């Protein structure tokens, strides 16, 4: 049997140009443009109740690759992002948003002991609340925007920014805690407090 001698294939690359990424002499560098594109992928869409093209797990990328400000300075409804939000680090955002949602979950679980129809579950930055007869609420973190997103069967969707130690909607100027207190109180026909939430 005739066997062909083995051949080795060598590929050498001196320089390859890709938008946002360059390889020069075997050293890979990522430009500022590619960092901004990576930042658009840093959320938690696998569990988020909002469908967002910019959501995926923030833990997928090192914190060094995550921007310290939003990818844009103007919101979808034309509101400028406050400087306080722009200067908030991603670590600080995660701390205050986690604390807020965990406190809210604790309040809801306490209410569920008195009102068994309430069902609240918080996992991976997403809080789902079933509040009969009103319907289902979804409240979740949005790290790329450093916001909390809120979906209500009564008031609809809204986005809240951390300003002055409170979570406020730039569109309506309302506080997330006030909206929750008002809507849950009406559903239960009881004046609830939710202490520590934007009060």
Domain boundaries of the chain, sorted by first residue: 33-188
CATH of 33-188, picked from 3.40.50.620, 3.40.309.10, 3.40.190.10, 3.30.920.10, is: 3.30.920.10
Six-digit token string for 10? 């060598």
In whole angstroms, what is the distance from residue 176 CA to residue 142 CA?
15
Q: What is the three-class DSSP state of 188? A: helix
pTM of the model: 0.64
Highest average pLDDT, of 38-47, 174-183, 186-195, comes from 174-183
pLDDT classification of 82: cutoffs 50, 70, 90? confident
Digit-coded pLDDT (tens) for 93-151: 999 999 999 999 999 999 999 999 999 999 999 999 999 999 999 999 999 999 999 99
Q: Which has the closest alpha carbon to 109: 127, 124, 88, 94?
A: 127
Phi, psi of 12 (to 5 degrees): -115, 140
Better pLDDT: 85 or 30: 85
Give residue-wise pLDDT tens across range 14-73.
444 444 444 344 433 333 333 333 333 344 434 567 644 344 333 333 443 344 455 544
What's residue 186's pLDDT? 94
SS3 state of residue 138: strand
* Torsion sign (Cα): 94, 100, 102, 105: negative
Alpha helices in 21-70 (DSSP H): 32-39
């Amino acid at each position: 049997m005739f066997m062909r001698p083995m051949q080795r294939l060598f590929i050498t690359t001196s320089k390859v140009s890709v938008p946002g990424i360059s390889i020069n002499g075997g050293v890979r560098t990522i430009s500022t443009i590619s960092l901004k594109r990576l930042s658009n992928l840093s959320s938690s869409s696998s569990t988020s109740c909002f469908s967002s093209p910019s959501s995926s797990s923030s833990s997928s990328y090192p914190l060094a690759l995550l921007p310290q400000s939003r990818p844009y300075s103007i919101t979808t409804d034309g509101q400028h992002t406050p400087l306080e939000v722009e200067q908030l680090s991603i670590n600080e955002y995660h701390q205050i948003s986690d604390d807020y949602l965990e406190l809210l979950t604790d309040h809801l679980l306490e209410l569920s002991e008195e009102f068994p129809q309430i069902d609240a579950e918080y996992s991976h930055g997403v809080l789902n609340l079933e509040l009969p007869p009103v319907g289902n609420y979804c409240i979740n973190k949005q790290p790329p925007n450093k916001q909390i997103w809120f979906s209500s069967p009564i008031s609809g969707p809204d986005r809240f920014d951390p300003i002055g130690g409170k979570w406020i909607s730039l569109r309506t100027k309302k506080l997330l805690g006030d909206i929750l207190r008002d809507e849950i109180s009406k559903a239960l026909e009881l004046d609830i407090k939710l202490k520590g939430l934007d009060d």
